[in-house]
Structure formats: structure tokens, C-alpha cells
A and B are shown apart, each in its own frame.
Chain A
């Protein structure tokens, strides 16, 4: 990776073009639109040639780390390998050319993908049916909570406004609950890092809409009292929501539906191998148990009695088709996105599922857990392991055993942040840090099943080496990284002296 400092705007030259459009010979133009409705000056977009664009973005790409570059030990994010056949399928011109409002009779292939994905995910999770409309995990959480609320609302059970969230939960859980108009109540973790059932009991009552759980939780620990928790929550009339960010270790082993969960979301960009794209597009399908199926969002893909596929509950359906379109949708939680979700992401995930099949799924979760435990067992001599149990796909250290404070120039030892930054120098991505919030120096590692023993051994060696560096030359860590295109950015300056677009550089110069 090397430093490259241009912005596309800086390559611009008045009058230069990079496009080529068909000349249709039209004479009319937007100049006929009344002047009051037109913009007086063109937008300040760059004027560059095609080769400028290609070189610029190729140069930018070389300042980026990706799964194809190296290993991501990133907790709760399941950065597994993104198979290339997935990209080939998503890149098929036919799928890419379909308009979302085309009549169902002309998109039977695409609708069949939805239908078969629904069946596959239902089988893998033990749920009845899925919606694919949510575009990401947090969007799925919000959708799931809307379904939860709709269930209570339509039963006339209006008091249920509280949702219970463990203190170890992902930040999106309480945030999604708040967006959904629910009040968040926190349940504590016990000394073993699991939901404290004794702390949970007094929180339960007829004002509880449900509980959101991640299982295994964000410490990578299986909530082994899940059956008792399910009984307690159901007993008070609440529903159980499963945050599928950590579904990977359970694939092929156990199903949330069999544990009593009523609603769940999955992250297709985590457990189902679709690329993260530098922060999206993801896909966050939501599955529900049988009794909640009527509340799934619309539009929905259904199989007709004639054996073909149809879409129901489309927004803005034609006047002559309105009644038929609304059939079976009266209890739906509503529309949560523009159309039927991120189709090309769903295609990729389905290609992955077909490669995995019933044979390979049996080892999927287990190998993820094998990799995590292997790394944990070896590194626990160099990093503090607050909870020593067997983990699933991930685990959390609470900083260095020896942070080298006595040898640091400012007397302060190396932190988890410093370890993370030093890892970048050795060609690895950083782990998730300072999450979960249960520990001060949390460092969360998830290796995923697609990494080999050799890759893990390399990572382990580097982590040990960094622990030694921390103890002996902590300043080396505190100024890391040293071998990356840039060193640590001044984040305080970025927030205080905001430059959020190219044009700000002139009005708000550094």
C-alpha cells in the first residue's frame, strides 16, 4: 500500500469529458423547461477523461485493505472469505436488467430465488418464513421489532412498550428499539458473561414487548440457560428476538427456532459470505415463527396455488389490481424499504448456500468455533482472558497482561488501541476493540472457518510478538502504525474543524 493524495476534483480540467453516449438525434432539450425550474449553473462535478478515472480509483483502491488482501480477526463481523462464483452470479446481465415493478409473470426466475432462499434460511434457523426487504442487519433488527410491536398492537395489548436488552448487546439493539418507539431496559450479565437470569426475573411483566438476545453472545459464549429464559419471557407474554450477527457458529449445529426464538435477523454479509463492500450493501432478512407470519413486511413473494410465484402488497399497485394486491396483507407491519430488498446480495448468498449444501453445513459452525478456541488457548498467556470458558466463534480479551507502563516515556502502558494499530503494521486488520462494553480494554477476535491453521499461526505469532513489544518498547505501539499509507489521523481535529466536502477546503482551510 502506498500514499496517494489526489481527489478526483483536483484532476478536473474545464471542457474535458470521459463519457460516450449514443447520439439519438433528438433536437428537444431541457432548455425548454421554464427557467424558474432549472438550475442556473451546472453542478461542480469533475471534468475528467476515462483514463483519469480509472487510474485515480485504482490508486485509491491500493490504499485499502480487504478480505482478499489479508486476514480480518474482526469480532462480531464475521469477515469470512467472499467466494468469486457469487460475484459472477450477481454480475449476470439478465438479473441486473430486471425492473423491480415488472409483472410477476416476467420475473419468475428472480422470484424463485426469493422463494428458495426463504425455504433454505427457514430450514437453517428453524423459523417459518422470512422477509428479505431489510437492507442491513440494523435494518433487520428494526423490522423485527416492528413485527413484535405489530403483534402486540393487533392483540390490543397496548401496554407492552419495554424491550429487554443485555448489557453485552450490540449498539444497534438499543438503537433499533428506540427508533421503533420502545423503551430499553438493560439486563445484566453474570460473572460467567451470560444473561443473569435472577436479574432478568424482576424485569418481566405485562409491559414487556420482548427481549433481544445474541446467542452465542458478544463474548462468544453460548447462553446455556436459553430454554429457561424463553420460558420466562414467553410466560409474561413477551417475544424473543434473536440478533443473527453471531449465527455463524450455530450453522449446522443448532437452530434459534428450536431454542424458543420468535423473530430473528440474519446478516447475509456475515454468515452467508457476501462482501462487506466497505460498509454495505448488506442484507438483513428477518425470519419469524408461524404465528407471526401475517405481520411480515410487504411486499412479499408467495407461491400461488397454480405453482407460480407472485408478489403481494406492492406499494402503488394499479387501480384494477389493488384488491388482489392487498389480499393477505392487512396485518402486515408495513413497508420497510423501496422494493424487495437487496436482490443482488440475496443472489450471492443463495449461490453460497448451494455450494455449502446439506453436506458442508455440518462442519461450518464447528470449524469457526475450532479456529476461535485455538487462537484463544494459545494467546491467553499474553493477553488477559476474563472468561476462560470454551467459546464459540469469537472471544474477548481484556487488554495486555504486561502493558509496559514502566517502560513508556509517559508512564502509560500500551492499550488495546495500540495493539490494534500495531497489527496493521504486520499486515493484519485490527480486531474489534472497546466492545463489548463489559471490559475496559476489550479486544474481540473472530477468525471464521475460512482461515487456515497456517494463517492463524501467523496471526498468533504476530500477536505474541506485539505483546513482547508492548512489554519492552511500548512507545513503538503507541506511535503505530508505521508501515501503512498514513499514520494515525487527527480525529479530534476532524470533528472540531469539520471539512466534509471538497468545496469546504477553500472556505475552511486547514
Chain B
């Protein structure tokens, strides 16, 4: 009967097992399923393939995708991942493990999550990090959900319109169904407008404010005075960050933020058409019991040896059910390992170099593009590795030209700008080639 690589049963096994159970056929195990809902006959699925055929099938699909030189960011960055990252993360002891509820046989997972939490705290300047979340936008939405829970009698959350579009959209979805009213802080000169924020805060109902560290235009926001203004009105300050950039930028801790969230993709995770990535969330000590997701803590075993286990679980769904801080159960544990191994390999010096090279490459690109006369500058504020320009030629024509040349660059934004990004992987030769194509467009 069974003759398939993933089913180890021989006909004789099945016969013996049915006999031991005391039924005469496999169908007898489903006698309680009403006949009318049974699916008799074939499923409309492809014929079963061999491994070799499966490989061939995906190789054909892969050929339909174009491998482009990536000059766009917008929440997904083409940074270099050292070969040790995929090497370690594909070890089956990490890959095929379950959630580390059984600490005695999960010290590998628990230890790297503890290291991950430590590194996220080091980058953000926060006190506590959780064990990871799905992605940046959902981490931001969870932080928005925390705000009313962390403040008294405040119901509204303000979000900056300089946040990435998908971060705003996911926050809006969660807020709509969870019942949180949102307010918007408009853009002023490429920045979150402090003036508008203060006006909204003065209404007295603001539980929290979400502002990016580096925003959708690539601009590094100057958040001087934000924490004071928000705290004065009793709200909490949530900062959305690119953690790679935090290796050189002023940290959420230094800006006085209460919660830092963002996407860890920029730390060694391949672009992978959007996932899996990893969200991070870190906060000040005072908010840890309102934080969603798993947390790993250090303790000792019964013989006094240092060890690690999941802790503060009374916040979580498997204990508290509808009273939990969140419904989150699975996190993105393996992706947290990508981040941990990446940061271990890169260290403080490597992270500085990644940012320096991205800064240099993107600024060179920015200046060269302006020289073509096909764009106008929109903002003049400091940016890190990503920027927008106003196109003076039809966007479609520009994009086609670049795509034909093998570049994904100059993606049009909601505002009608075009966005560019250059990481340390982009060489001067590539940039010169891109600029040459722009001149011809």
C-alpha cells in the first residue's frame, strides 16, 4: 500500500497495527466522519513527483525570475551575509527543533535567543528584548497595542506619516480590529513634524507615539525633544528602527524612547521576496510585563549550573488565553539565529564598515543622479543609505530602462518621488553603469 519515501509503513506493518488496534481497515479509523463529508476519489493535485523532478520544476520557475542588482530598500535591504550565517542556521539541530519549552534539551536555542536579546539591547540601548516577532510591521502594530495598556485612561496612538507605507498599513489593520483610535503626524521637510505632534499631544488622550529613526525617505530623523513632549503628556514613545543603522546612529535609548521595534532583515537575512524576516521589540524595564512574545532568561539548574529557560510566561496565550498580552505563539526563532550569528561575525567594527560603505555609495549615487539633470532634489536633510528624488522624466520610461539594464532602482513612491538605496554590496562600477542608463533614459 504505502510506497513512498516519507511513509515508513510496509503493508505488513499496517496489517499488524490494525490488528493490534482491533479494526480491519484504515477506513475504520474514520467511521465517525459522516459519509457526506468524506472526500472520495482523487484530489485535483499534480501527480507525485520524484526529488529530481521537484528540483527540475523549481529550477524552471527560478529561471522565470529576473536577478537584478538591487538599488531599492523600503524595508528590505540587500546587505551582505557572511557564509557562516547560512552555514550555521542550516544545522538541523537548530532548524528541526521545536519551541524550547523543554529547557533540558533546548539549551542551544535558549542560549542563542539570550544572546540575540542581548545584542538587540546593545543596538537599541533598551533594557529588555523579547525573543523576536514575525516582522517589523507586525512588531510595530504590537507596540501600538501595548501603548493603551501601558498608560492610564489614554486611548489614541499617533503615528508619523514618515513611517514606511507597509508599517502604517499594518498598524492601521491591527488598530481597526483591536479598537485603537489612530492619529497622524504629518511630514514637514521630510521629517515628522514636532509642531503637529505637540498639538495632537495637547489633546490629552494620547497613549503613544510611533516615529521612525530613519524614515521612508531615508532621512535620519532628529528626535530632539520628542521624548520630553510625549512623556509630559503621559504617553509612551515608540521608535521604529533599522537595526543595522543603529550600529552608528543615536539609539532609541539615547532619544528617550520607551519601546524600540523594527525589522531585523538588514542583519544577515536574505531578501527572499519578503520573508521570512524577523521583527524585534525591546523596551524599558517598566514595560516588560506588557510585552508580547517569548522571553528567555538566565537561571541555574538543580546542580547550580548556569542555564536558560523561557520566562515571564504569565503574559502569554498558552497560560492566559484571552487575557494574554498578545496572541503571538510562534516567533521567528531561526531568523533570530541569523541575526545573532551575523552580528557575531560583523562585530562593532564590521557594522561600522557596513554603514560607512552604504553611506558613501548612496551619497555618490545621489550626487551623480542629480548631475544627470533628470531629477530634482526633494529634501536636503542627512540620509544614511536611502533617498528620494523628484523625477523630471516619465517614471515608467526610467524604470523600463533600468530594468532592461538589470537594475531594480528608482521605485516610484506614493508621493510620486523615486526611491534609491545603495548598500555596501553596490560597487562604484555598478553605480556608474546605473547612472549611464539614467542619462540615456
Contact = CB atoms under 8 A, between A and B. Distances in A.
Given A26-B361, A65-B102, A137-B330, A451 B8 contact: yes
Contacts of B343: 45-46
A351 B58 contact: yes
A107 B271 CA distance: 13
23 contacts: A17-B347, A37-B220, A45-B348, A60-B108, A101-B72, A139-B328, A146-B173, A171-B321, A175-B327, A252-B43, A277-B334, A279-B100, A282-B330, A315-B166, A316-B166, A341-B274, A343-B274, A359-B47, A373-B21, A424-B102, A489-B300, A490-B300, A500-B298
B24 interface: no
B95 A29 contact: no
A294 to B, nearest CB: 16
A99 B76 contact: yes
Nearest to B10: A453
Contact of A106 (B65, B87, B166, B384): B65
Nearest to A37: B220
B113 to A, nearest CB: 8
A358 B46 contact: yes
Given A94-B65, A356-B48, A499 B298 contact: yes
Contacts of A20: 82
Interface residues of B, number: 220
Contacts of B75: 338
Contact of B275 (A69, A103, A112, A339): A339
B396 A315 contact: no
B106 A64 contact: yes
A252 B27 CA distance: 11
Given A39-B249, A120-B45, A316-B413, A337 B347 contact: no
Contacts of B312: 495, 498
B210 interface: no
A493 interface: yes
Given A112-B64, A490-B301, A280 B334 contact: yes
Interface string A104-131: 0111111011000000100110100000
7 cross-chain pairs, A with B, having the tightest CB-CB distances, nearest first: A316-B165, A357-B48, A318-B412, A339-B274, A277-B334, A100-B274, A26-B360
B395 A82 contact: no
A54 B105 CA distance: 20
B441 interface: no
B189 interface: no
Contacts of A221: 32
A363 interface: yes
Interface stretch (A2-10, A195-203, A469-477): A2-10
A494 interface: yes
Contacts of A46: 343-344, 347
A429 to B, nearest CB: 7
B341 interface: yes
A135 interface: yes
B96 interface: yes
Interface stretch (A83-91, A234-242, A400-408): A83-91
A155 interface: no
A87 B176 contact: no
B266 interface: no
Contacts of A109: 60-65
A494 B313 CA distance: 11
Contacts of B420: none
A359 B278 CA distance: 36
A409 interface: no
Contacts of B222: 36-37
Contact of A96 (B131, B249, B271): B271
A330 interface: no
A65 B106 contact: yes
A54 B365 CA distance: 36
Nearest to B362: A28
B45 A123 contact: yes
A360 B48 contact: yes
A458 interface: no
Contact of A319 (B117, B118, B413): B413
A363 B14 CA distance: 11
B72 to A, nearest CB: 6
B115 A83 contact: no
Contacts of A28: 356, 359-360, 363-364
B97 A336 contact: no
B248 A39 contact: yes
Interface stretch (B120-128, B192-200, B226-234, B370-378): B120-128
A24 B98 contact: no
Given A224-B34, A227-B37, A361-B45, A279 B294 contact: yes
A85 B50 CA distance: 10
Contacts of A120: 45
Interface string A257-298: 011000000000100010111111110000000000000010
B322 A178 contact: yes
B243 to A, nearest CB: 10
Contacts of B145: 179
B164 interface: yes
B29 to A, nearest CB: 5
Contacts of A278: 94-95, 97-100, 106, 108-109, 333-334, 337
Interface string A442-479: 00000001111100000000000000000000000001
Contact of B396 (A9, A81, A320): A320
A8 B115 contact: yes
A24 B46 contact: no
Contacts of A439: none
B98 A429 contact: yes
A480 B318 CA distance: 24
A64 B9 CA distance: 28
Most buried by B among A226, A360, A435: A360
Given A39-B249, A334-B173, A503-B118, A33 B220 contact: yes
Given A67-B97, A120-B45, A180-B177, 12 more contacts: A18-B344, A39-B246, A61-B94, A61-B108, A135-B134, A135-B135, A145-B177, A340-B275, A390-B23, A484-B104, A486-B103, A501-B129
A384 interface: no
Contact of A66 (B92, B305, B340): B92
Given A175-B320, A224-B32, A318-B413, A112 B61 contact: yes
A274 to B, nearest CB: 10
A335 interface: yes
A346 B88 CA distance: 22
Nearest to A360: B4
A48 B134 CA distance: 29
A500 B296 contact: yes
B48 A367 contact: no
Contacts of B396: 320
A81 B4 CA distance: 13
Contacts of A190: none
Contacts of A29: 356, 359-360
A189 interface: no
Contacts of A96: 270-272
A282 B275 CA distance: 10
A221 to B, nearest CB: 8
A79 B48 contact: no
B177 A43 contact: no
Given A106-B408, A279-B333, A377-B22, A171 B317 contact: yes
A498 B128 CA distance: 10
Contacts of A81: 6
B308 interface: yes
Residue among A107, A141, A276, A345 facing the most chain B CB atoms (10 A cut-off): A276
A317 interface: yes
B383 to A, nearest CB: 9
Contacts of B270: 96-97
Nearest to A116: B46
B97 A269 contact: no
B104 A502 contact: no
Given A27-B360, A99-B70, A435-B318, A253 B33 contact: yes
Contacts of A85: 51, 54-55
